[in-house]
Amino acid sequence: MLTIANRNFHSRLLLGTGKYPDYSIQKQAVEVSEAEILTFSVRRMNIFEADQPNFLEMIDTDRYTLLPNTAGAKTAEEAVRTAKLAKASGLCDMIKVEVIGDQRTLLPDPIETLKASKILLEEGFIVLPYTSDDVMLAKRLQDLGVHAIMPGASPIGSGQGIINPLNLQFIVEQSTVPVIVDAGIGSPADAAQAMEIGADGVLLNTAVSQAEDPVKMARAMKLSIQGGRLGYEAGRIPKKTYATASSPTEGMSIG
């Protein structure tokens, strides 16, 4: 069970809604993933093509917790403005704070993220900041009272997986709020690794939406996250340099 701000979720997979080949595939992928939290972005409406389909209209919004992001914001001020617009929809009170500092790497601006998180907490939002995988930053955000920490595994959409597992481990070990690995996941193995390290959840988008078969990949991610979590709870064996036999060494009929 994943608990964010006293809300319980059965699924530890948070799924993005961008860049799917079409809405039919997207709908199936969301269904199969069993994700309960879906991320969205806030953008200007094309008022002359208002009849264009919108994914939000195709799903039962009562079944999902919507997690809008502040993507596009370069400053705390812009992030706060986007968050308020999102909340005004009346559909959600959670916000993924995303303040991008560098357009080439899309890595977060930690200072602006911290600032925006502080303001949004004061405004009563449930705040989930997307952050660098830095343990001190995670602590600072926690001290503010954020409801989850979402460190990036590697740059957004890069599919490089967890570049610094040690940093992630440090964040997990000291965290008093859920840690959700956000961005950079490429394969089910990456998602399982995040969970085995002890993350509470994984947020991914491109790994599913741009897979050759997004629906199958959605299922793969669901299962690998479940597997990784079980493995974490079960407690893996320590790594040893040399072999230890699995079969008994006594009572052998030969030798």
Partner 1 sequence: MKLFINGEEMIVPDNVTNVEKLLDYFNLNNKAGIVERNQVIVDRSLHAEESVTNEDRIEIVHFVGGG
List, by residue number, the catalytic residues.
Answer: 96
Nearest to 37 by CA among 154, 128, 137: 128
Q: One symbol per residue from 100 to 119: x for binding partner 1 (CB under 8 A), - otherwise; what is it?
A: --------------------
Computed on alpha carbons and rounded to an integer, the radius of gyration of the chain in Å comes to 20
Alpha-carbon dihedral 195, 2, 65, 40, rounded to 10 degrees: -30
Closest separation in Å from C-beta 240 to partner 1: 39
| Site for partner 1 contains 68 (CB under 8 A) | yes
Which of 66, 114, 120, 194 touches partner 1 (CB under 8 A)?
66
| Site for partner 1 contains 60 (CB under 8 A) | no
Strand-strand pairing, 150-151 and 65-68:
unpaired
Binding-site size for partner 1 (CB under 8 A) equals 40
Please state, in angstroms and rounded to a whole number, the distance separating the CA atoms of residues 82 and 241.
Answer: 52
Please state, in angstroms and rounded to a whole number, the distance separating the CA atoms of residues 210 and 243.
Answer: 41
| Site for partner 1 contains 166 (CB under 8 A) | no
Please state, in angstroms and rounded to a whole number, the distance separating the CA atoms of residues 121 and 124.
Answer: 5
Closest separation in Å from C-beta 94 to partner 1: 13
Binding region for partner 1 (CB under 8 A): 16-20, 26, 39-45, 47-48, 50-51, 54-57, 66, 68-69, 71, 81, 84-86, 88-91, 156-157, 183, 203-206
